Amino acid sequence: MAISSNMHDDIEETLISEADLQARVRELAAAIQRDYAGKDLVLLGILRGAIMFMTDLARQLSMPLNMDFMAISSYGNATESSGVVRILKDLDDAIEHKHVLIVEDIIDTGLTLRYLMEILENRNPASLAVCALLDKVKEREKLIAPMYTGFEIPDRFVVGYGLDFAQKYRNLPYIGVLKPSVYSE
């Protein structure tokens, strides 16, 4: 694995530019604002991938809301999720009778989210929905239907805007695809 001193040098292709990300976040925020008007909304960010999306989205919403975070790790190897989720950090506050919107970076197999939603449903929220920045277009065992999706992307491994490879590249301001040399050396 060879990571350059300038992260941008490791990107083969920009998939979604910074301007396109910001424009889409504003659109998503407008839809959320409309749908959750007058409701007690909790934005539930999934650490660590959703941090950039979560903070940008929250800043585009003008209604009062709570922000809470969960850190989960899915059992399995680095690139393949097993669908069994371990909670590393739970929510700080109870969600009973609250309208919970899970803010997630990307839906790949959808297994992580499916498991997480089961856990959260048991806590009796008033409603539970998903806002995912990216949705990989692929066959899924059981479809997770996110209420809000930023972009549908091809089934490739992407980094940036919160998404990592080996914990790096989260701070890229755009979504990109890594050069194969980064993986293979």
Q: Known catalytic residues? A: 108
Cβ nearer to ligand IMP, comparing 126 with 153: 153
**Residue 106 within binding range of ligand IMP, rule CB under 6 A:** yes
Of 70, 95, 131, 158, which lies in the binding site for ligand IMP, with binding defined by CB under 6 A? 158
88-92, long-range: CB within 8 Å, 24+ apart, which pairs? 89/47, 91/44, 92/68
What are the phi and psi torsion angles at 25 (to 5°)? Answer: -60, -40
**Residue 162 within binding range of Mg ion, rule CB under 5 A:** no
Tokens 């940036």 belong to: 160
- Any idea what the Cα angle at residue 139 is, between residues 133 and 142, rounded to 5°? 85
**Residue 163 within binding range of ligand IMP, rule CB under 6 A:** yes
Strands, sheet with 11-16, edge to edge from the N-terminal-most edge strand = 11-16, 175-178, 158-159
The stretch near ligand IMP (CB under 6 A) out of 18-26, 32-40, 51-59, 101-109 is: 101-109
**Residue 45 within binding range of Mg ion, rule CB under 5 A:** no
Collect all residues with Cβ–Cβ distance below 8 Å to 143 and sequence separation of at least 6.
110
Tell me how far, at minimum, the Cβ of 105 lies from Mg ion, in Å: 5
**Residue 81 within binding range of ligand IMP, rule CB under 6 A:** yes
Interatomic CA distance for residues 5 and 36, integer angstroms: 43
**Residue 10 within binding range of ligand IMP, rule CB under 6 A:** no
**Residue 16 within binding range of ligand IMP, rule CB under 6 A:** no
Residue 182 corresponds to which amino acid? V
Of 49, 125, 146, 176, which lies in the binding site for ligand IMP, with binding defined by CB under 6 A? 49
| CB-CB neighbours of 145 under 10 Å | 8
Question: Binding residues for ligand IMP, per CB under 6 A?
Answer: 49, 74, 81, 104-113, 157-159, 163
Question: Binding residues for Mg ion, per CB under 5 A?
Answer: 49
